Structure 1
């Protein structure tokens, strides 16, 4: 079903976004492995959400400051923002038990469950 949707996207949007469509079609074998996992696992292993969240928080604070007196002032502010944001990185990952069990089923021959992922 995913490949059919990709073909439909390419048919509708391929002329407007030819590079994206070609790239996704050329790399479909790699992209499609992501869809072998259920939705909860995909949400856990999909990395752009936390990265985008961090960028959004940095932009929110730096945008309101206007200009900085020096590069060092900006670097100090960035350090403090990241220090504050990083407190949330120690929180447990949502649905980690489900994710680790599915990864163990798929890659159990590569890693031991007791060693973690």
Structure 2
């Protein structure tokens, strides 16, 4: 979305150049000077970030029936195996594969996958 803007905010450009500096130091210095900053980009304070933006509220898990992928499901990041199981059983694609079969075991790895072993 940043590249779609006709006019880019100067503050955002400065932060971008600061983040670019360790990977492309010469280009970053040139851009820093073009943006009208004095001194070196490498001596400027690194941009701050918001820790709360790094925390996921939802994750996508894989739903398997007898170790075969039957779908994907978005669940809360802190969902335990019981919540994952109930949400997976409610999914129509999974219900189709569980229909008429007995669930022998449920293997759940929170945040990753849930596997229904059936016979």
Q: TM-score surpassing 0.5? A: no
TM-score bracket, normalised by the shorter chain, equals under 0.3
TM-score norm. by structure 1 comes to 0.21
- For the pair shown, the structure with the greater C-alpha radius of gyration is 2
TM-score norm. by structure 2 comes to 0.21
Larger fraction in strand: 2
